[in-house]
Structure 1
Amino acid sequence: MPVLQGLRRTVLGLLAVMTLTVTGLGYWETHGLLGGITISSALGLDSPRSTGGAMNILLIGLDSRKDQDGNDLPPDILDKLHAGDSDSGGYNTNTLILVHIGADNRAVAFSIPRDDYVPVSGIDGYDYIKIKEAYGLTKAQTELELEQQGIDNPAELERLGREAGREATLRAVRNLTGQPIDYFAEVNLAGFYHLAESLGGVEVCLNHAVYDEYSGADFPAGHQRLDAAQALAFVRQRHGLENGDLDRTHRQQAFLAGIMHQLQQSGVFGNLDDFRELMDVAREDVVLSQGWGEPQFRRMAALAGGDVEFRTLPVLRYENIDGQDVNIVDPAAIRSEISAAIAGSAAPTTTEAHSPGADTVIAVVNGSQSYGLASRTADVLSREGFTIGEIRDRKDGEPPGTVISYGPGGGADATTVADLLGVVTAPQEDPNLDDDQIRIILGDGFDPGMVDLGGFTPESVADSAVPGALSGSDDTITPIPDAGVPIDGGGVPCVN
């Protein structure tokens, strides 16, 4: 049995539990049913936040065969899920969904394909990773460093390693999307199984009959009800899908819509015993960031009624790099699509990018522990046409975080630089800087996340003679992967 790959369905349990939390808010207030859920401090109090009444929530589905303390999941659960042993899967975040709830409470959920290839700093031996790997690679490196410092308690290593992994995942998503994150919630592999089992199955719909011996998917076309194990195969299938990673993402969204529809129709919220059973799933399998409270849960109520639009972030093309299948993405296009969807507009038209001012000079300052970060960032800016001045380390008295400052006349270029590098904090005018001068201080945790891999790829990416051509092929043109149309959360949509 091949190693389980498509564990995006884990976040579906999380969203459903969140929906239960919202709709059953009266139960929460009266009976205290949410006590005992694990709280994480990975999202720092000084992290960038949304403004104007909006709220962004990152939902993380963790591909792990271990519980919150690092203990192996029970063998009977692993057997039912065909998930391999406790060493399979690692700690990949095979589900990442950024949910934006606007000031008007209109909700848009953006699925981030797990194989999106993004730049990274602070992880030894890596300049680029699949976005799903940020959690596990950082966790492993952090635990090794802690062991070298003399920490040997397994539970403490697990806790601190996971916190570091969450921080890395939050940074990666912020840098790719350009969006602040106000709250996050994480669910592990067991959470999906426990939820699906509690619900007694979920209704889905397929456009065509499918059979895949690897995942166990063997379903006819049309509407049908799947038990927990079948639902796992439904979202796990990766062979025989015309649109690969994105088709799996569409199944994830459709399955989530089905859960929402079922919860709304089932009357579970009127039965305290049923509700209490589902809340036990949250205590066992869910981690929440600090700050969740009644106002946040009330605003999540949009999901309970299916009033949410599901979108998949675009992929330029598929590549194979060092034996790994990756998604080459255009971060600028991703940001543009998110901004347009949040604003409720149609797909944005192409506009001419702001050209760097002829007199603008940028100083790049490394305020982090990552060697060479300033030089690598300066290279990115230079390729975009900016003039680079000094490249140096941070001096005493300069801000410790990531800050972009500009002198008179440098505001437009400073904003362009912030967008390019994925810095969500607005640039600041500094009267001590000369005209047309910009200073970038790169703090710990900064990733140059806005490198446009559509126009620049590392040497390990095979050059494509034509945009969209697969590596290793001189004459095969592959169409841009189809991200699909948005899915309405109000029913059970049919998917491939």
Structure 2
Amino acid sequence: MRSGGSESTAGARRRRRPRRTKPWAVLGRVLVCTLSIAVLLASGVTWYVYRDLTHGMQTSNALDEAKAEAPKHLDNAVNLLLIGLDSRRDMNGKDLPKKLLQDELHAGSSSEVGGYNTNTLILMHIPANGGKVTAFSIPRDDYVDIPGTGHKRKIKEAYDNAKYVAENKLAAQGVKDPVELEHKGREAGRAATLRTVQAFLGVPIDHFAEVNLLGFYDIAGALGGVEVCLNGPVKDHYSGADFPAGRQQLNASQALAFVRQRHGLPNYDLDRTHRQQAFLSSVATKLKNGGVFGDVGKMRSLLDVVKKDLVIDNSWDVLDFAQQASNLTGGNAEFFTLPIERYDQIGDQDVNIVDPVKIKAIVAGAIAHDPAISPSGAAVPPPPPPPSTTAAAGPTGSAPGATSSPSATSKRRGTQSTPPPSTVPPPPVTPVDPPSTGPQGGSVKMGGIPCVN
């Protein structure tokens, strides 16, 4: 009995003897652990760098409302809306210093202005596969439907009007803090702009960035100026622009005058749109040549300067965008200005009449890199060369319905708006309806220093 028990115990011990682990299995485990630690460390570093870059940057939730009613994405491309706000106030609603406005920005004085029009609206379509970036500038006076209001307005007024309505509603609810009113009013303005552009173009908006008037000045200043190219000499005392023809380096004050000038240009606001595109191309080129996109320290220095002027949506990954930015600087991006059917006057304001169906078809066709389809079913030809006979639209006035138009907000706050352009007419031109079979006035390629009017 005892002998059998010993044999049984010995057998059990033999069965429980651990098997020798093969060397390749040990190596595999070590590699898995090492990679896991590397991923965790990289994630931590990325998180730290992201937090460091974006610390103090103002973010917005306004996109949440627009996404709820956005058209469906057909792929993983990203649509980014750039918003240039024509405001002479800081983020808390305080007037910018009068000396800065008059001497450096050539933008009147704080007692004469106070509106919140979006004079720059550019949608950038960034393909998921890293292909060509296509950007669309929307002329600021396009007369469009404003979602949720049942009214049409100039697209630039969607922000201003929504801000005014929201502030009045909040004030009626007992909100008295002017900073809170300003912040919440601007959020309403952003949401209205995003919804309006999204509905007008028929594409979802994934991210946005808003920069105010001072932001253009600060960006140019932080870069030590920008280089531009003009087809001919210009001089305009309204914006302060006074430049010869050809390539030239502009300081911050001159750069702002460059993007703001519209008086004295052959195509008025449309030429100013091309100026804005050329400014962005020059900035992107300088950032690339300066190695900013690949250098966290340089990115931090630039963002530290413009943080006070910039608002981005709360889901935008700045680091990820910086990695994609090389597509914007090597000639792999192109700007188009969306077409106008004709100029018209509605009430006391001059507007651009547009065909929303045609606009959506052009945008969809360009994004898909296929010929756009016009409302008649015919293919829209590729962008035509810049028209040589297109003249400017007439002067612009206030929004329809002065009692509800936010352009009158400054008056209700004890300030006076800038005299409407009708009191300071542009140089005499004969208005000619522009062609509308494709993007307006040709295109501006991103990368390098494009020459514009």
**TM-score normalized with structure 1 length:** 0.65
Would you say 1:82 and 2:96 are equivalent positions? Answer: no
CA distance in 2 between partners of 1:476 and 1:100 (Å):
32
Q: Which amino acid aligns with 2:236?
A: D
CA distance in 1 between partners of 2:87 and 2:273 (Å):
19
User: 2:75 aligned to 31, 44, 52, which one?
Assistant: 52
- Give 1:390's aligned residue: none
Deviations 1:210-246 (A, max 9, x none): 2223222221111111111111222222122221211
1:63 and 1:479, CA in 2 relative to 1: closer, same or farther beyond 3 A?
A: closer
Whose Rg is larger? 2
1:349 and 1:172, CA in 2 relative to 1: closer, same or farther beyond 3 A?
A: closer
Local SS of the residue matching 1:97: strand
**RMSD across aligned C-alpha pairs, in angstroms?**
2.6
- Give 2:250's aligned residue: 226
User: 1:480 aligned to 435, 439, 453, which one?
Assistant: 435
User: 2:182 aligned to 148, 158, 173, which one?
Assistant: 158
Q: How does 1:68-467 map to 2 (within 5 A)?
A: 68-79=91-102, 80-87=104-111, 88-105=113-130, 106-120=132-146, 122-123=148-149, 127-268=151-292, 274-293=298-317, 294-346=319-371, 348=373, 351-352=376-377
CA distance in 1 between partners of 2:110 and 2:50 (Å):
38
Deviations 1:346-387 (A, max 9, x none): 45466449xxxxxxxxxxxxxxxxxxxxxxxxxxxxxxxxxx
Structure 2's unaligned 5+ residue stretches are 1-44, 379-429
Would you say 1:67 and 2:90 are equivalent positions? Answer: yes
Local SS of the residue matching 1:32: helix
Moved more, 182-191 or 319-328: 319-328
More helix by share: 2
1:101 deviates by: 1.1
Q: Which amino acid aligns with 1:315?
A: I
Structure 1's unaligned 5+ residue stretches are 1-24, 354-474
Moved more, 269-278 or 238-247: 269-278
Would you say 1:495 and 2:452 are equivalent positions? Answer: yes
Local SS of the residue matching 1:315: coil
1:251 deviates by: 1.1
Deviations 1:427-463 (A, max 9, x none): xxxxxxxxxxxxxxxxxxxxxxxxxxxxxxxxxxxxx
1:493 and 1:476, CA in 2 relative to 1: closer, same or farther beyond 3 A?
A: closer
CA distance in 2 between partners of 1:476 and 1:492 (Å):
30
**TM-score normalized with structure 2 length:** 0.71
CA distance in 1 between partners of 2:190 and 2:184 (Å):
10
CA distance in 2 between partners of 1:336 and 1:270 (Å):
37
Would you say 1:41 and 2:51 are equivalent positions? Answer: no
- Give 2:384's aligned residue: none
CA distance in 2 between partners of 1:251 and 1:198 (Å):
19
CA distance in 2 between partners of 1:187 and 1:477 (Å):
32
| Contact 1:174-1:181 at 8 Å conserved across structures | yes
Local SS of the residue matching 1:484: strand
CA distance in 2 between partners of 1:350 and 1:328 (Å):
16
1:134 and 1:220, CA in 2 relative to 1: closer, same or farther beyond 3 A?
A: same
Local SS of the residue matching 1:486: strand
Moved more, 223-232 or 81-90: 81-90
Local SS of the residue matching 1:156: helix
1:479 deviates by: 4.3
CA distance in 2 between partners of 1:143 and 1:30 (Å):
33
1:74 and 1:493, CA in 2 relative to 1: closer, same or farther beyond 3 A?
A: same
CA distance in 1 between partners of 2:449 and 2:230 (Å):
10
Count of residues paired in the alignment:
349
